[in-house]
Amino acid sequence: MIKERIQKSLNQQLNAELYSSYEYLAMSAYFESESLSGFARWMQLQSQEEYGHAIKFYNYLLQAGGKINFAPIDAPKVGWTGAEEVFKDTYKHEQKVTKSIYELVDLTLEEKDHATNIFLQWFVTEQVEEESTALKILDRIKLIADNKSGLLYLDHELGTRAAAN
pLDDT per residue, tens digit, the chain (165 aa), is 899 999 999 999 999 999 999 999 999 999 999 999 999 999 999 999 999 999 999 999 999 999 999 999 999 999 999 999 999 999 999 999 999 999 999 999 999 999 999 999 999 999 999 999 999 999 999 999 999 999 999 999 999 999 876
- Asked if residues 116 and 10 have their Cβ atoms less than 8 Å apart, the reply is yes
What pLDDT was estimated at residue 1?
A: 81
CATH superfamily of 4-158: Ferritin, core subunit, four-helix bundle (1.20.1260.10)
Alpha-carbon Rg of the chain, whole angstroms? 17
- Asked if residues 87 and 138 have their Cβ atoms less than 8 Å apart, the reply is yes
- Asked if residues 40 and 31 have their Cβ atoms less than 8 Å apart, the reply is yes
Rounded Cα distance between 86 and 92, Å, is 10
Alpha helices in 34-147 (DSSP H): 37-63, 83-110, 114-144
- Asked if residues 48 and 22 have their Cβ atoms less than 8 Å apart, the reply is no
Closest residue by Cα to residue 53 from 157, 108, 130, 114: 130
136, amino acid identity: K
- pTM score, whole prediction: 0.95
Domain boundaries, the chain: 4-158
